[in-house]
Structure 1
Amino acid sequence: MTSLAPARTAGTAERTAPDLSYLLDHTSHVLRTKMAAALAEVGMTARMHCVLVKALEEERTQIQIAELGDMDKTTMVVTVDALEKAGLAERRPSAGDRRARVIAVTDAGAEMAERTQAIVDRVHAEAIGSLPEEMRPVLLAALELLTTGHLATPEESPAGARRARQA
């Protein structure tokens, strides 16, 4: 004689750990919305800011900046097109390899990058500042450990994992 386990009803799954996925995804999403709203005040997006900052650091191709900013090719092209139209950046031949095209930031683009960096820093400071002072370094250290350690590299999955929403 076999015993049948009692039927489970909806909502009876027992959580054994905090929902880290929700906590990280929700806070990341809300932070992106706050960042998008703040940057929109000066007519910029987080992607535009990223391109300007990465292009100012050193001579980089569009592909290199796209990889650093985790952008697909189409998104990168549209972003650079918008920066060119605004007079903030332009595509130029590389000084080291005339066949390669790099993203060069104009003087107006460098000024905008300074403005947007101040906005980004303010939004981040407001988020961290909402925590009790003694918790701030602990959170940042823990996130740094996760992003450079256990959660540094995405897992390959046959079903794939949906990327977090991008700002």
Structure 2
Amino acid sequence: MTIPSPGRPSDLMFLLSWASHALRAEHAVGLAELGITPRDHCVLARARAGGLTQRQLGELCGVDKTTMVVTLDHLEAAGLARRVPSPTDRRARLVEVTAQGEQVLDQAQEIAAGLEQDVLAALPDSEREVFLSAVQRLVGGRLSRVNACGPAGSVC
């Protein structure tokens, strides 16, 4: 099979985009069985520790304000999360995961872990840790922020 790339075989942007698209699609199919989306999963996972506002969760999950409201409306209607007033800021709402949300989140985490294990099984044992470490360094460093104007740290 040829690598699906519009340019050279090592076209990093296309390869990462392709891999991300394929993973997101499989993740979405697995989570659909639970009645949630990958975005719902991210919000529930980040909210689990408690004490985060809608805005903070949106930033952590890369979700804009309007989409975050729609996501939380869905999670509340499903009985998986609730918004409560912040004790320190009357304008803010904290997001709490309900008991039912905890159960669904546990199942979602199992689905994600199974998908990760299945995907990484395609690599030899000796390459898995190196691959994950490299991706973590990229995401934790050079690719840590989304900047529509240019490289991380550049001035727009």
CA distance in 1, matches of 2:106, 2:100: 10
CA distance in 1, matches of 2:100, 2:82: 11
CA distance in 2, matches of 1:25, 1:74: 25
Residue 94 of structure 2 is aligned to residue 133 of structure 1: no
Deviation at 1:108, TM superposition (A): 0.7
CA distance in 2, matches of 1:129, 1:79: 33
Q: Deviations over 1:100-142 (max 9, x none)?
A: 2111211111111111111111111111122111110111111
Match of 2:30 among 29, 32, 38: 38
CA distance in 2, matches of 1:52, 1:152: 21
- In structure 2, the CA distance between the partners of 1:138 and 1:105, relative to structure 1 (3 Å rule), is same
Alignment of 1:72-151 (within 5 A): 72-151=64-143
Q: Which amino acid aligns with 1:29?
A: H
Higher relative contact order (CA 8 A, sep 6+): 1
Q: Which runs of 5+ in 1 are unaligned?
A: 1-13, 159-167
CA distance in 1, matches of 2:88, 2:120: 41
Alignment of 1:17-28 (within 5 A): 18-28=10-20
Is the CA contact 2:54–2:92 (under 8 Å) kept in the aligned structure 1? no
Larger Rg: 1
CA RMSD after TM alignment:
1.9
CA distance in 1, matches of 2:87, 2:108: 27
CA distance in 1, matches of 2:97, 2:139: 30
**How many percent of aligned residue pairs carry the same amino acid?**
44
Q: State the partner residue of 1:162.
A: none
Is the CA contact 2:81–2:95 (under 8 Å) kept in the aligned structure 1? yes
SS at match of 2:144: coil
- Give the TM-score of the pair, scaled to structure 2: 0.84
CA distance in 2, matches of 1:76, 1:153: 19
CA distance in 1, matches of 2:68, 2:29: 20
CA distance in 2, matches of 1:51, 1:42: 15
Q: State the partner residue of 1:63.
A: 55
Deviation at 1:71, TM superposition (A): 0.4
Residue 39 of structure 2 is aligned to residue 47 of structure 1: yes
SS at match of 2:48: helix
Q: Which runs of 5+ in 2 are unaligned?
A: 1-6, 151-156
Structure 1 consecutive aligned stretches of length 4 or more whose deviation exceeds 6 Å: none
- Give the TM-score of the pair, scaled to structure 1: 0.79
